[in-house]
């Protein structure tokens, strides 16, 4: 982080006033500079350390863009004996109007019960293995095992389930294309059974009403169940056809669409994952690597930081620019078409997800834009010589080499 130097302070009118005041009182300008940057009153050092740029931004920062970062580590965690989930929604992250996120842990055998919801569900496995199931409106079925680095997508209204497998279940991130969505507001199969007369259930399924005497009287949400058998056995259990486009995709196994010494980018969108109506990128930044200055013209961007320490600069126009620091379990958000960059400022690889509500992934590169219009035009704007501009990349370089 860049600190304000004495020279920078003296360069401002306010600093000039400090010098005059120092001469009158006998205090040094350094004393006034140190006092201006101190916080003797009550404060929380641990909270301040989560984003040091809130306290002292970069010299290029200006204005207030609101809160661009939240963390799953700071939100209420809903526990059961079998697993847990926590969420970041527009209620605790106001800028996140178009997407909500859930972090869920299912140990071995634990089930996120059969359910559905109005928004679509995009998911990425961060740990372990699990089994997912779904049935679409044409009674076509889907069963698959997913591992760390895989993702899945369930369209809105498609009923599904998730279960942790051995040896230690799974953990994953869910993203919904509605910032108001809550994990607590899904349509649960047990909840519907509990609120439907047994004689109606009996008639619907063609079985005696006594069939439902032992049905649980409360919803299960996350509960323990026997670990399922082989995937082959589950696939063979029904004779119904499978969905045309599978709902799972091995994003982590894909060849990067871009790779340099600075890192890599893998993309999942409708072009390689036909089932989805949302798009995403898995970005890796090596120490010093930079996700280039760019913006996304089609959608807001929801971010999830998996590893490393990153710094994001966000340019909102009207002279406003803020800098934010991110750590594992943090969520970032950038509104549609707002310029930004992400830089690895730590010693470990930064891995993070970019998630969008549109089926097509799209970004616009600042450097590529500058070198695909007449050089003289750009030179007139920025007072950079044409020879330098001619060296800029005409193609996008999503991760700038270290």
Closest listed residue to residue 101, CA positions, set 73, 140, 132: 73
Choosing from 30, 286, 354, 376, the catalytic residue is: 354
Task: Please give the backbone phi and psi of residue 109, each rounded to the nearest 5 degrees, phi first.
Answer: 90, -20
Cβ proximity of 379 and 370 under 8 Å = no
Q: Could you write out the DSSP letters of every residue in 29-48?
A: HHHHHHHHT---SS--HHHH
Q: Is the CB of residue 129 less than 8 Å from the CB of residue 167? A: no
Q: Tell me the three state secondary structure of residue 105.
A: strand
Q: Which are the contacts of 68, defined by CB distance < 8 A and separation ≥ 6?
A: 95, 312, 314, 322, 324, 332, 333, 334
Radius of gyration, alpha carbons of the chain: 26
CA distance 100 to 230: 33
* Token code pair at residue 216: 């649980």
* 354 among known catalytic residues: yes
Q: SS3 letters for 247-261?
A: CEECHHHCCCCEEEC
Range 189-196 contact pairs with CB under 8 angstroms and sequence separation of 24 or more: 189/113, 189/114, 189/115, 189/159, 190/113, 190/215, 190/216, 190/218, 190/219, 190/220, 191/219, 194/218, 194/219
Answer yes or no: is 296 a known binding residue.
yes
Q: How far apart (Å, rounded) are the C-alpha atoms in residues 63 and 390? A: 34
Tell me: is residue 79 an annotated ligand-binding position: no
294 assigned to a ligand binding site: yes
115 is in an annotated binding site: yes
The gap between the terminal CA atoms of the chain, to the nearest Å, is 18
Encode 73-96: b = buried (16+ Cβ within 10 Å), e = exposed.
ebbeebeeebbbbbbbbbeebebb
Q: Contact, 279 vs 267, CB < 8 A?
A: yes
Instruction: Answer yes or no: is 43 a known binding residue.
Output: no
| Burial of residue 330 (number of CB atoms within 10 Å: 0-12, 13-18, 19+) | buried
Could you tell me the maximum CA-CA distance found in the chain, to the nearest angstrom? Answer: 95
Query: Rounded to the nearest 10 degrees, what angle do helices 13-25 and 29-36 cross at?
Result: 120
CA–CA gap between residue 282 and residue 351 (Å, rounded) = 7
The residues that bridge with 287 in the sheet, in sequence order, are none
Residues annotated within the binding site are 115, 117, 121, 160, 294, 296, 301, 340
Q: Which residues are annotated as a binding site for Mn(2+)?
A: 115, 117, 121, 160, 294, 296, 301, 340
Which positions are catalytic? 354
């Amino acid at each position: 982080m860049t600190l304000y130097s004495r020279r920078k302070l003296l360069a401002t009118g306010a600093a000039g006033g400090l010098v005059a005041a120092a001469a009158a009182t006998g205090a040094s300008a350094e004393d006034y500079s140190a006092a201006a940057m101190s916080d003797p009153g009550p404060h929380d050092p641990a909270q301040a350390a989560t984003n040091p740029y809130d306290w002292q931004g970069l010299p290029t920062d200006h204005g207030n863009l609101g809160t661009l970062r939240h963390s799953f580590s700071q939100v209420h965690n809903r526990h059961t004996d079998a697993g847990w989930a926590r969420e970041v929604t527009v209620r605790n992250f106001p800028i996140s109007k178009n997407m909500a996120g859930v972090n869920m842990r299912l140990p071995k055998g634990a089930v996120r019960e059969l359910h559905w919801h109005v928004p679509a569900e995009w998911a990425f496995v961060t740990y372990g293995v699990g089994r997912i199931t779904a049935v679409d409106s044409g009674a076509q079925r889907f069963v698959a095992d997913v591992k760390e680095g895989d993702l899945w997508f369930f369209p809105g209204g498609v009923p599904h389930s998730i279960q942790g497998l051995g040896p230690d279940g799974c953990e994953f991130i869910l993203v919904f294309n509605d910032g108001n969505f809550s994990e607590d507001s899904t349509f649960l199969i047990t909840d519907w059974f509990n609120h439907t007369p047994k004689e109606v259930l009996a008639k619907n399924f063609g079985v005696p009403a006594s069939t439902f005497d032992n049905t649980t009287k409360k919803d299960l949400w996350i509960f323990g169940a026997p670990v399922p058998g082989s995937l082959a056995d589950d696939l063979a259990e029904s004779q119904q056809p499978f969905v045309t486009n599978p709902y799972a995709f091995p994003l982590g196994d894909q060849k990067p669409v871009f790779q340099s010494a600075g890192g890599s980018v893998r993309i999942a969108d409708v072009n390689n994952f036909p089932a989805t109506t949302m798009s995403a990128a898995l970005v890796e930044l090596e120490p010093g690597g930079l996700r280039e200055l760019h913006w996304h013209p089609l959608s807001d961007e929801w971010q999830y930081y998996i590893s490393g320490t990153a710094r994001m600069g966000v340019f909102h126009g009207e002279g406003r620019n803020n800098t934010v620091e991110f750590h594992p379990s943090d969520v970032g958000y950038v509104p549609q078409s707002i310029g930004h960059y992400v830089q690895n400022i730590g010693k470990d690889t930064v891995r993070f997800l970019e998630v969008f509500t549109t089926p097509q992934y799209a970004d616009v590169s600042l450097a590529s834009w500058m070198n695909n219009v007449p050089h003289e035009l750009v030179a007139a704007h920025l007072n950079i010589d044409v020879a330098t501009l001619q060296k800029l990349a005409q193609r996008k370089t999503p991760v700038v080499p270290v």
